[in-house]
Amino acid sequence: MSRIAVTGGAGRLGRSVVRALAEAGHEVVSIDRTSAEGLPARQLDLDLLDAAATRQAFARIAPDAVVHLAAIAVPGSRPDFEIFDINTRLLWSVLEGALAAGAGALLVASSPTVIGYGAPSGWEPAYLPLDEAHPVAPWNGYATSKAAIEEIVRMAVRRDGHRARFGVFRPCYVIAPEEWAGAPTQQGHTVAERLADPALSAVALFNYLDARDAGDFVTAWLDHAEDVPNGAVFFVGAPDALVAAPTAEALATHVPETAGAAAALPGTAAVFSSARAERLLGWRARRTWRTELDAPPSRPDPLRSAEAPHA
Ligand SMILES: NC(=O)c1ccc[n+]([C@@H]2O[C@H](COP(=O)([O-])OP(=O)(O)OC[C@H]3O[C@@H](n4cnc5c(N)ncnc54)[C@H](O)[C@@H]3O)[C@@H](O)[C@H]2O)c1
């Protein structure tokens, strides 16, 4: 058992990460400026932008490892310069506090948006599925803050890699357990509404991830932090796309600039590959919208009918 500090542990992703870590037998401390009911963790109310207070808090907690999720998580929710400023300052504060307290591992949440899809002046994938080797091209303050965070982690590997392990993950669009049952998702639509109107998810190339699977990824990374390359970046997503139609067909219809590369995607495959997480950590998402959704999509799912046409 280890003592793990989770920043942003009261958030949409954090709650499931805290639960997964506690279920795996870790002692968990959530550091957040809000709290969540029923979390199996000690909860510390702290503004992580206060670097001195953060340093003191980490010194008191003395975590073996830190999972850094706290951020302004919604692109466009504040002016770009503010999101960039807050998200990068949060990482500096947590990085220096965690290292000063002797933490041996730090896993940081980035975002698939670093890739740059949806840029108003155009974007085309170099290839599909997107993997960690694909070039990044962030086009807003949020995505640029995440690209900067990834660079800060690379710096930390060079500066501190002899005494700590670092990792970055890019969680796809997180769907918390209550959202399968009809609660609104991060951008304010239910999962069923997203499936009924593919344009809603097309802007993120139909990426998604069950929050509990994200929790399992974090647990797997902590288990293997010593064995994987220091600073490794991981896409973490469901194995399929959040759309009822075959992925290549949905991309050709809703994101025509990807049509050429999309032909390489078989069936319902995700646009984002989590193969590295599977290869290095043995992690694979276990839940998909097809297994978790309480109410079926309001339009017929052509794949399901194709799979069982004469049932
Ligand atoms: N939700 C997604 O679909 C998604 C996708 C990709 C990446 N991410 C990243 O994952 C992480 C978690 O996202 P989420 O969806 O759970 O977001 P969230 O907004 O639900 O949770 C973020 C938490 O961070 C806390 N926080 C923010 N500023 C803080 C501060 N100054 N001090 C202390 N706590 C602070 C908030 O109170 C909140 O509880 C973020 O880094 C986000 O960018 C999320």
Domain that holds residue 133: 3-302
Task: Please determine, for residue 304, whether its predicted confidence score (pLDDT) is greater than 50.
Answer: no
Q: Do 276 and 167 meet the contact criterion of CB atoms below 8 Å apart?
A: no
Residue 11 alpha carbon to ligand 1 centre in Å? 6
The string of pLDDT tens digits covering residues 154-208 is: 999 999 999 999 999 999 999 999 999 999 998 889 999 999 999 999 999 999 9
Assess if residue 311 is contained within a domain.
no
Measured from the CB, is residue 85 less than 6 Å from ligand 1?
no
CATH of residue 51's domain is: 3.40.50.720
Q: How many domains does the chain have?
A: 1
Assess if residue 308 is contained within a domain.
no
Q: Do 204 and 215 meet the contact criterion of CB atoms below 8 Å apart?
A: no
Task: Please determine, for residue 222, whether its predicted confidence score (pLDDT) is greater than 60.
Answer: yes
Measured from the CB, is residue 179 less than 6 Å from ligand 1?
no
| Residues 115, 146: Cα–Cα separation, whole Å | 10
Is the pTM for the entire model greater than 0.85? yes
- 208 is a catalytic site residue: no
Q: Which of 16, 29, 32 to mutate to test the pocket of ligand 1 (most atoms within 8 A of CB)?
A: 32
How much is the pLDDT for 71? 98
Residue nearest to atom 26 of ligand 1 (CA): 70
Ligand 1 atom nearest the C-alpha of 72 is 27
Residue 57 alpha carbon to ligand 1 centre in Å? 19
**Partners of 275 in the β-ladder:** none
How much is the pLDDT for 1? 74
Residue the block writes with tokens 């975002």: 111
Alpha helices in the chain (DSSP H): 12-23, 51-61, 80-100, 141-160, 177-180, 191-196, 199-202, 211-224, 247-254, 259-262, 275-281, 289-292, 302-307
Assess if residue 242 is contained within a domain.
yes
Assess if residue 307 is contained within a domain.
no
Q: Do 208 and 172 meet the contact criterion of CB atoms below 8 Å apart?
A: yes
How much is the pLDDT for 157? 98
How much is the pLDDT for 188? 86
Q: Which of 211, 173, 177, 178 is nearest to 194 (CA)?
A: 173
Q: What is the DSSP secondary structure assignment for residue 130, as one 8-state letter? A: B
Give me the mean pLDDT over the 66-77 stretch.
97
Residues 6+ apart with CB under 8 A from 33: 45, 46, 47, 48
Residues 6+ apart with CB under 8 A from 278: 284
Measured from the CB, is residue 75 less than 6 Å from ligand 1?
no
Ligand 1 atom nearest the C-alpha of 15 is 16
Measured from the CB, is residue 65 less than 6 Å from ligand 1?
no
Task: Please determine, for residue 309, whether its predicted confidence score (pLDDT) is greater than 60.
Answer: no
The string of pLDDT tens digits covering residues 81-101 is: 999 999 999 999 999 999 999
Assess if residue 136 is contained within a domain.
yes
